[in-house]
Structures are given as structure tokens and as C-alpha cells.
Homo-oligomer: A and B are copies of this chain.
């Protein structure tokens, strides 16, 4: 064990879990926030923004990229990152649908 069981859950549930997991670390939240704030692609300087070593940040960027939350474009010897809005939208839509349904709940 130690492995997450994915069988038995819907594709959507697994997808949302993966996306949420990718945002489940303050460094990755900070990266996404920084990219959103900037409004443009950010080449480099993410390392200067966070209190983590370069190797660690590279790892976090990789995870965000794999989850589809950010995109990376090679620009010379630097790499430019930016948010993939569509993915963010996907999570937002999902949460909105959850919130909408629990709105009219006669709860304890």
C-alpha cells in the first residue's frame, strides 16, 4: 500500500484529484500565483521568487507542467512559463458545480 487506488473512481474524479494534488503544495500555489500576477510568460526568475533551491523548484515546475496547469516554452537557453488557463478553468468549473449543488442543501 501507500499507493492511491484509482480504480473504482470516475475519470473525472481522478482528473480533479490529480489537478488538486498538483496545487497541494504552497510552492506550487506560489508559482501559479506569480505567473497569474505577471500576466505574461515568465522566463527565469521564478527561482529568485521562492525560498527554495533551484533543484526543488525545477521539480515543482515539472509537476505543474505534467498536471497541465502551466506551459513551458523554450526561449534560447531560458524557459518561459505561463499558466494554462483552460486547466484552471476546468477546476473552477468543477468546484462551481459542486458549490451550486450543495447550495440548496438543508444541512445540519
Q: How far is the CA of A33 from the CA of B99 in the complex (A)?
A: 10
Q: Which residues of B contact A33 (CB under 8 A)?
A: 13, 98
What number of copies of this chain does the assembly contain? 2
Bound CA span A84–B26, Å: 22
Inside 8 A of A18's CB, which chain B residues have their CB?
24
Chain B min CB distance to A13 (Å): 5
Q: Given B26, B38, B88, B102, which contacts A36 in the complex, CB threshold below 8 Å? A: B102
Binding site for B on A (CB under 8 A): 4-10, 13-14, 16-18, 20-30, 32-33, 35-41, 50-52, 71, 73, 75, 80, 82-83, 85, 88-89, 91-92, 95-96, 98-99, 101-108
